[in-house]
């Protein structure tokens, strides 16, 4: 089976495979192995689609059948080297990551399932944590930070002061989330800096990204319909009423940049101060 990252996951798949993409700061392929272990199948000969997000509860069906299919009838996991399409079960909680917004769905599933807080860093007494929080070693949550819902923060991060971070958010290692920033339901990779007075909602932000002050990602249509995003020249329904932007690695935005919902910025692109990003921004367009 082809293990290359699909082109319809660009720009995120241009700099890493989907199997290496961190969900809650853990690579997808490690989540797959963890799901097998939780299902009691770690020692058995189980093959897995390289881009599959697997729910351990779904894997238990392999005790009575050969192959698990997602809602698109794509094999997710199977016994032996090849799927047996004569013995299948279709499952709902597991799926193949086909598009960037599927990474948000996987991250939501993982972060929602956290059971206990793990605080290895420093939390200022004035910070409020209302939810389950995983905080990495060497990270600091500064005064006035309010975390609502389940959130993962990696190691050596600086969060705040006066930030609002909402549930189903994952923040990688060595990130800086600045003064008065709001982050909601987003996946932010390592070494990224979200400057002060910025908003990031329902978005995937790559590695070593720098947002200038006042960068705003819009995530809601005025008509309340699902967002659409351009993939290989076609506008696709994301199935999401709230959907922000997909930002590749090493992107820099100028101050007061505004980004339309569903837009994608390719690695190493940049915007000028006050820019309005209405279309996908590729390297040749920057």
Same domain, 85 and 126: no
pLDDT at 63 over 90: no
pLDDT value for 195? 85
Same domain, 211 and 269: yes
Same domain, 254 and 218: yes
Which residues have C-beta within 8 Å of that of residue 255, sequence separation ≥ 6?
A: 195, 212, 213, 214, 215, 273, 274
- State if pTM tops 0.75: yes
Residue 201: give the domain boundaries: 118-285
pLDDT at 1 over 50: no
Strand partners, 270: 252
Same domain, 92 and 162: no
Same domain, 169 and 201: yes
Same domain, 260 and 212: yes
Strand partners, 187: 170, 204
pLDDT band, residue 284 (cuts 50/70/90): low
Q: How many domains does the chain have?
A: 2
CB atoms within 10 A of CB 241: 13
**End residue of a domain, out of 34, 69, 98:** 98
Same domain, 68 and 131: no
The catalytically annotated residue of 134, 168, 196, 250 is 196
CA separation, residue 219 to residues 182, 211, 224, 243, 262 (Å): 13, 17, 11, 5, 8
State mean pLDDT over 132-150: 99
75 Ramachandran zone, left/alpha/beta (phi>0; psi -120 to 50): beta
Cα gap 198→175, rounded to integer Å = 15
pLDDT at 269 over 50: yes
Residue, of 243 and 43, whose pLDDT is higher: 243
Query: In this structure, what are the phi and psi dihedrals at residue 165, rounded to the nearest 5 degrees?
Result: -115, 120
3-state secondary structure of 64: coil
Q: Is 256 a catalytic residue?
A: no
């Amino acid at each position: 089976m082809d293990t290359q990252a699909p082109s319809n996951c660009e720009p995120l798949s241009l700099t890493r495979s989907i199997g290496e993409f961190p969900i809650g700061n853990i690579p997808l392929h490690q989540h797959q192995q963890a799901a097998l272990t939780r299902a009691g199948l770690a020692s058995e000969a189980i093959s897995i689609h390289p881009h599959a997000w697997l729910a351990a509860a779904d894997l238990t069906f392999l005790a009575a059948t050969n192959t698990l299919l997602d809602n698109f009838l794509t094999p997710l996991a199977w016994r032996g080297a090849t799927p047996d399409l004569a013995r299948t079960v279709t499952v709902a909680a597991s799926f193949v990551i086909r598009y960037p917004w599927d990474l948000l769905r996987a991250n939501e599933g993982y972060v929602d399932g956290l059971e206990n807080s793990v605080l290895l860093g420093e939390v200022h007494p004035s910070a409020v944590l209302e939810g389950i929080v995983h905080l990495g070693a060497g990270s600091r949550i500064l005064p006035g930070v309010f975390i609502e819902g389940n959130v993962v923060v990696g190691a050596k991060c600086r969060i705040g002061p006066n930030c609002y971070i909402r549930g189903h958010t994952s923040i990688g290692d060595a990130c800086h989330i600045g003064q008065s920033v709001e982050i909601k339901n987003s996946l932010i990779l390592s070494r990224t800096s979200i400057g002060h007075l910025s908003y990031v909602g329902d978005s995937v932000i790559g590695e070593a990204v720098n947002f200038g002050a006042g960068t705003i990602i819009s995530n809601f249509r005025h008509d309340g319909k699902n967002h659409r995003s351009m993939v290989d020249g076609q506008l696709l329904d994301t199935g999401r009423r709230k959907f922000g932007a997909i930002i590749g690695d090493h992107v820099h935005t100028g101050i007061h940049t505004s980004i339309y919902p569903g837009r994608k910025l390719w690695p190493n692109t940049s915007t000028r101060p006050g820019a309005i990003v209405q279309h996908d921004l590729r390297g040749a367009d920057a």
